[in-house]
Amino acid sequence: MTNVLPIHDEHHHRLETKLKRELGDHVLALLNDDRTEDVVLNPDSSLWRKRMGEGFMKVGEIAPAQASSALSTIAAWRGTVLNHEHPILETELPIDGSRFEGIVSPVVRQPVFAVRLRPRRIFRLDEYEADGIVTAKDDPLNHLRRQDDFLNAVRGLKHGEIIRAARRGLDRQREDNIRECMPGRAGHASAA
């Protein structure tokens, strides 16, 4: 019995091997670092990383030809192309599922990309509040904070759904604030 991969699996295996070679050991190490949040390649070929609790730090360089090859491999893996007519690629990084955006000429002079890694740690709301990221419980714009378990409120939602739900909540809050500022109008609406 031979150990043969189906054509589809073999193709993806080859693309994965090629992509890892093109990204290089340094980027792969950043992707495997539990503290890494973002990996960014700028148009000047400088490679930056952001780690939990730290700002962005330059950590190396990637040659434009190498970056272009990696971007083309990701596009091919996703069944699309990245070229002058289609210079922006927004997808998930095939090797780990991180959010990925790559851009090439004519939008930028050299290939660039940004990788936002999936969170490896879930922060509690009180930690966000202590760090000043979210405001106090009684802040009307922070109405979601009043729920017992914020994670249950957003669990299973896609990123865009969370943003749309938050916008709807803010729009309702704004409407309530307008009604409070115009009591005559609120009374008129209830009389009709």
| Per-residue tens of pLDDT for the chain, all 192 residues | 455 556 668 888 898 999 999 999 999 999 999 889 999 999 999 999 999 888 899 999 999 999 999 999 999 999 999 999 999 999 999 999 999 999 999 999 999 999 999 877 777 777 777 777 666 656 655 555 555 445 555 566 666 666 666 666 666 666 665 566 555 544 444 444
Query: At a CB cut-off of 8 Å and minimum separation 6, what does 62 contact?
Result: 24, 27, 41, 45, 47, 70
Whole-number CA gyration radius for the chain:
23
Return the amino acid letter for 70.
A
Per-residue confidence (pLDDT) for residue 66, from 0 to 100:
96
Both tokens of 110, joined, read: 């050299």
Domains and CATH numbers, the chain: 7-116 (3.30.450.90), 125-191 (no CATH)
Per-residue confidence (pLDDT) for residue 57, from 0 to 100:
96
Note the pTM of the prediction, 2 decimals: 0.62
